[in-house]
A and B are shown apart, each in its own frame.
Chain A
């Protein structure tokens, strides 16, 4: 029941503060009056009695303050007062305030942006999809390799998995969409009928799939389109539902439009349309049959029942996969099924980003630390100027705790502005990550949600503490009497403070040095990668392909088409050579791989020689610029009816023929013996970082592929060739579209995109860190100089010439830098190992990178120190001494 008495009191203290204060005064007044009366009654004179009464109470203001404390209203009231005072302080120094808030914005903004990317790409990668924490990805596995799964297997998992709420499919795919004159390949997805219900996103127009639409091959030509496609290609037609649209060579009925902001469930790409799995063969070019248990094409997800962990589900699904392997040994022996967290999804771009994110998290934390050190330093300088104010307040009876609260409140104000700025910055930068990758089709959005906001608020609090406590350090040591006297301004005398400031500068130099080393290492690695020759020409060779399967081409028709097209292309002006190849090197598609046997080569006991190979047409090596060392290229005569032939690379010769001339020798591929007719130089096949590997080529005609890439070596610019090629393709068949054309250089660039992005990001943040550290160093040095005017003036009056003064000031700044770099070298030696797999032919302890970082740091800090030092030499001795 006590609250009945307490509550009105609290409210009164809070709301009627003035009345409460008056009451308090009156109460104490009454007491004093009685005391005075008593003293007078004892015979004191009134003046004396009054003084004695005040003395006996022990300081009216102090008693009042204690009573206020007892009322417990001080917390809120003081905060408001501190905040108001803080705002006034910040307003008084707009330059300082802006600088500090800018620094904090950069620090918090960088961290928030990175976390928003982690959130948007790894943790909750699919906008609008509900309960993503219960989603996991599902893939097949063979040994350590990941693979897609087959539809019958998935149906069995869905049927028998008690812990799964849904199992659903969304496989990325492309299809040619032609509206009027314009045909283009758009990215779409083959989805199971339960897809939209399982992810909890429903069409804004029309409907999603119905359960029956999963079954019956080719029986349900219906399509759901994205909001973006609806707007751009169908002019937001409100009567779109029920209309028909050709995708590849099949006419579909549009049954739904998805909401704005839904991009499907594939990190890195925007999905524009969804067709049911029954349309698999139509979309995928008959290469897979839906009912075939061995046809592994599906990229799928599982929604777990709530409260179920991924491990539990894995156990259950493993058991199901084991049962399937027993029941269907022909298709399933050796295959298993595994679930993955979304950030580790096998079938999208998220995994490739992981190492970059690891680096970015570390780097942005470094930047934040540097920012804290920098802001702390600025506040130290600021608080030195406020020392007088603090001392006066202490003398007036404010407690140290009270001052601390004041400083923390100011820190909180600054941090709050910084956090707000940081969130704004992250919001503006949410699409910036894709800018670091050369592939313009990538869609890598950050997401700013409650958790991201929470994190930046938490960062703000940490910063508040860090930043507010640094100046508080020194109020602790304020000696009242000393500081109330106007202090003689000698900086060397202010030992403790100078020490703290120097430590902060050293910290900044150390951290930015580490970042610089990281950036240089990555740059060096990228340069190595970029200057490594891929083994084929890059700038003059163009690559594209023609999606003909979708237009209804089968092998015989494709052969005719390919022959006709290549002749037309070779006749184009500026074209030097042209050829087909099933796979373009360094691309997304993988080469064929087969067990091989070689005449005269005895494998070890456990060795099964295997090599990757490419199916290429005549003139391939001339087009690619891969030098032929011995023998001949494939010719038109090497067709289906001719004896099998192969061309091998140098590494293959070295390994399997021990360097002997292999021409005329035999090589067994997939059971067929082929005669080796040529040897070519090694080149890069999968990545620029790979080491030489055995590789061979077979004629496209003998191992036919319907949709090979076409490579064109030309002297003309890309656009000209692209237009000409499209013209030739249309002349042969107006229904055929052309895929995006790129140079092989672009292909190389895309394959090194990850390194490029890492370099870009680390260099950006490294540069930022360097700038901040330089500002910090500059601030400390110019402050030191401005405070030691007297000392410098004295030195000059005593005959020191400007160069002496310059050396004095510079040496002090450079001492700080050197200390910072020393520590930085030590830490960098430990930390650069983190870059591990991003480095190509560069040791994480590469002395050149350390030297380069050292030079950059030294130049930057020398510049930062020089200006204040130069200003010091301009000190007028007379004025400096007179100012005291």
Chain B
């Protein structure tokens, strides 16, 4: 298990070094998108429209924040369940998406697509939304403002803590860790 500090968007030469279980501190730009935004993004791809941001090599964070109080950059901002995005994820990976941040396990199809497209899936701390808010330096609206908390936002983060869950070599945090603690 390695501990790294990495800039986003993550270059392929760094992405390929990431292994399930590594603790990573991310800094740079990430985009938020959850259920409704994923549906809109994939519909745009299917109808040949351009996406509201250039997705190549970028990182999507499955998150919908609480509203910022006056003077705050963002409200609480922890991850949502990634599995709900599974149906849309292979299409986004094929369009160039490089990394995803969420919580919980992914489907077999998504894990395959991660290998094929040389991407990475990170998990972060579910239910630690107040703590994670402290790593966000800037937040701006990118698309679908009508979706409220589900809109796509561009975040600039500093030392955002994640753990590699699925790497491009087939490594799987859950498959590695859970059996270690299983008891008869």
**A and B part of one assembly:** no
B residues near A, CB below 8 A? none
